[in-house]
Chains A and B, each alone.
Chain A
Amino acid sequence: MTSTALTTDRSPGSTTSARTGRRPGLGTALSWELRKLRAQARTRYTLLGCLIAPALIVVVLNSQQRPPKDTLYGRHLHDSGYAVPLLVLGFAAQWVFPLLTALVAGDIFASEDSYGTWKTVLTRSVSRAQLFWAKTAAAALFAVSVLVVFATSTIVASLLVVGRQPLTGLTGQLIPSGTALPLVIASWATALAPLLGFTALAVLLSVRTRNPAIGVVGPVVIGLVMQLVGSLGGLDLVRHLLLTTSFESWHGLFTAHRFYDLLTEGLVVSAVWTLLALGLAYASLRRRDITGG
Chain B
Amino acid sequence: MNEILAVNAVDVTKRYGRLTAVDGISMAVEQGEVYGVLGPNGAGKTTFLRMLFGLIRPDAGTLEVFGRTWQSHGTHALDGVAGFIESPKFYPYLTGRANLEGLAGLDGGGARGRIDNVLDVVDLVGRDRDKVGGYSFGMRQRLGVAAALLRDPRLLVLDEPANGLDPAGIRDMRALVKRLAASGLTVLLSSHDMGEVEEICDNVTIMRTGSVVYHGTIATLREQAPEPAHRLRTSDDPGALALAVGRLGLVVATHDGALAVRGAQAHVDAYVATLVHHGIVPRSLTLEEAPLESLFFMLTESSPETLPNSLDHDPDLTGARP
Query: Which A positions have Cβ atoms within 8 angstroms of B?
Result: 1-12, 16-24, 28-29, 31-32, 35-36, 39-41, 115-127, 289-291, 293
Contacts and interface: CB of A to CB of B under 8 A. Distances in A.
A23 B78 CA distance: 12
Interface string B20-56: 0000000000010000000000000000001001111
A19 B152 contact: yes
A139 to B, nearest CB: 17
B94 A39 contact: yes
Contacts of B107: 17-18, 24, 124-125
Contacts of A32: 102, 105-106
A289 B114 contact: no
Given A125-B78, A126-B106, A127-B74, A18 B56 contact: no
A119 B183 CA distance: 26
From A6, A35, A41, residue with most partner B Cβ within 10 Å: A6
Given A1-B122, A22-B108, A120-B89, 8 more contacts: A1-B121, A6-B149, A8-B117, A9-B152, A17-B108, A24-B105, A119-B89, A120-B88
B187 to A, nearest CB: 12
A10 B181 CA distance: 11
A135 to B, nearest CB: 13
B137 interface: no
A52 B147 CA distance: 40
B106 A24 contact: yes
Nearest to A288: B56
**Size range of the chain B interface in the assembly:** 35 or more
A24 B117 CA distance: 22
15 contacts: A6-B180, A7-B117, A16-B151, A17-B110, A18-B150, A19-B79, A20-B79, A39-B93, A115-B90, A120-B147, A121-B103, A122-B54, A126-B106, A289-B57, A290-B56
A10 B185 contact: yes
Contacts of B102: 32, 35-36
From B108, B118, B151, residue with most partner A Cβ within 10 Å: B108
A130 B179 CA distance: 35
B106 A10 contact: no
B109 A291 contact: no
B108 A125 contact: yes
A24 B176 CA distance: 29
Contacts of A6: 117-118, 121, 149, 180, 183
Given A115-B92, A127-B74, A290 B31 contact: no
Contact of A18 (B91, B108, B180): B108
A219 B49 CA distance: 36
Nearest to B172: A1
Contacts of B183: 5-6, 10
B92 A24 contact: no
A120 B89 CA distance: 6
B310 interface: no
A16 B150 CA distance: 10
B55 A122 contact: yes
A120 B75 CA distance: 14
B253 interface: no
Interface string B117-145: 11011110000000000000000001000
A32 B107 CA distance: 12
Given A1-B176, A3-B179, A291-B50, A115 B91 contact: yes
Given A121-B106, A289-B56, A4 B152 contact: no
Contacts of B79: 18-20, 125
Contacts of B153: 18-19
Given A1-B122, A119-B89, A21 B110 contact: yes
A31 B105 contact: yes
Contacts of B149: 6
Contact of A12 (B31, B98, B150, B152): B31
B210 interface: no
B184 A10 contact: yes
Given A31-B105, A290-B56, A291-B50, A8 B179 contact: no
A12 B153 CA distance: 10
B106 A125 contact: yes
B296 interface: no
B72 interface: no
